[in-house]
Structures are given as C-alpha cells and as structure tokens.
C-alpha cells in the first residue's frame, strides 16, 4: 500500500510544470531508480511534454511511471538514471521491422483467406507475390531520391529499387523461416 501511495504521490508531483530531470533526480534522491520519457519524434522534448518517474523498487517501475506521465501516446524512455538510453535510429529500425512484419502477416492472412494451407509451397508463393506487390507499390510511391546531411558533408541517397529488393529478400526469409526479426538485417 505504501508503494502504491508513493507512486501516486510521485505522479502528482511530476505533473508540475518546469521541473527538469536533473532537479527531479535531486529532489527525489532518496529513490534508487529514475527515468525520463518523451515523445519518440522529439526525445529532447520540452519539459512539459515529457514524463518523469522514480521508484525504490525497480528501474522498470520508474520507466512505467515516466511513460504514464508523458503527455503523448508515442512516448519512449530516453533516460534511466544518468544514462541516455534512447537511440532514434534503433527506434526507427524497430518501427520499420514492425511495419515489415505487419506487411508479411497481411499477405499471409490474405493467402489463408484465399484457401491456401500454411506450410505448402503454394502458400509461400502466394505470400511472396502479395508481399512483393505491396513492396513494389511502396517503392513506386517513394521514387524520389532523398539527400540528407548536406551541411555535415555527408550524403545519403535512398534507392527505392535496391531497398525494395533487399526488403523482398528479407521478407521471403521471414515467410519461409530462414530469417527472424532478430536476424533481419543480416539475412
């Protein structure tokens, strides 16, 4: 009961505007674990949009409190204690993997509804064809070459055809089981 009351008190105290993470940690230095959660698209967000949390029990509890206090639905933990733990590139890669897995699941579900039995060669062919069509459509919608980082002297050129080929190869690996989400970029 004391823990729940402590969490509720911390939650109300966290809702006060203008509290920086450093002053929060100082004020709640008797708590072992601290966390800061901000919107994923703005991890250095304004203080009022981020949530702060503290716990005497676990880092996970502090993280959950901070996520609960964050004002947006796309919040992620950006700091645990003194460590900055959010990596925007990793977050985007995970979002892309989730999107790819969703496309594969959609293709598999369509093939099931068409009467193909999972595990058969025809099911795999159906899934691959539907997945390939969706990738080609996405590539056609994204035909432009994007250049980033001009001020830093680096240039990244996105080739939709190459990216589509790589995604189809990896997607086929996910469909036929030779690849997993954990090994996605290396298959």
Return the domain boundaries, the chain.
2-84, 88-186
pLDDT computed for residue 17 by the predictor: 46
pLDDT computed for residue 183 by the predictor: 73
pLDDT at 12 over 50: no
Going by C-alpha positions, the residue among 71, 77, 88, 40 that lies closest to residue 55 is: 77
The helix (run of H) or strand (run of E) holding residue 109 is helix 88-113
As a whole-number percent, the residues of the chain with pLDDT over 90 amount to 13
What is the DSSP-derived secondary structure letter of residue 116?
P
Confidence of residue 145 (pLDDT cuts 50, 70, 90): very low
The values of phi and psi at residue 48, to 5°, are -70, -20
State mean pLDDT over 114-122.
91
102 in helix, strand or coil? helix
pTM over 0.75: no
Higher pLDDT residue, 135 or 35? 35
183 in helix, strand or coil? coil
| Tens digit of each residue's pLDDT (9 = 90 or more) over 119-133 | 899 999 998 888 888
């Amino acid at each position: 009961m004391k823990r729940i009351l402590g969490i509720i008190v911390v939650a109300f105290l966290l809702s006060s505007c203008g509290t920086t993470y450093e002053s929060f940690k100082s004020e709640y230095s008797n708590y072992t674990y601290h966390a800061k959660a901000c919107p994923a698209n703005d991890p250095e967000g304004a203080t009022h949009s981020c949530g702060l949390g503290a716990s005497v029990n676990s880092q996970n509890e502090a993280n959950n409190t901070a996520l609960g206090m964050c004002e947006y639905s796309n919040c992620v933990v950006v700091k645990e204690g003194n460590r900055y733990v959010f990596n925007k590139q990793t977050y985007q890669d995970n979002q892309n993997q989730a999107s790819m897995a969703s496309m594969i699941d959609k293709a598999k579900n369509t093939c099931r509804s068409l009467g193909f039995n999972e595990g058969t060669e025809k099911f795999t062919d159906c899934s691959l064809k539907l997945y390939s069509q969706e990738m080609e459509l996405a590539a056609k919608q994204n035909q432009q070459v994007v250049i980033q980082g001009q001020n830093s002297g680096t240039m990244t050129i996105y080739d939709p055809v190459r990216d589509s080929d790589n995604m189809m190869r990896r997607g086929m690996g996910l469909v036929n089981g030779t690849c997993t989400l954990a090994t996605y970029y290396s298959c």
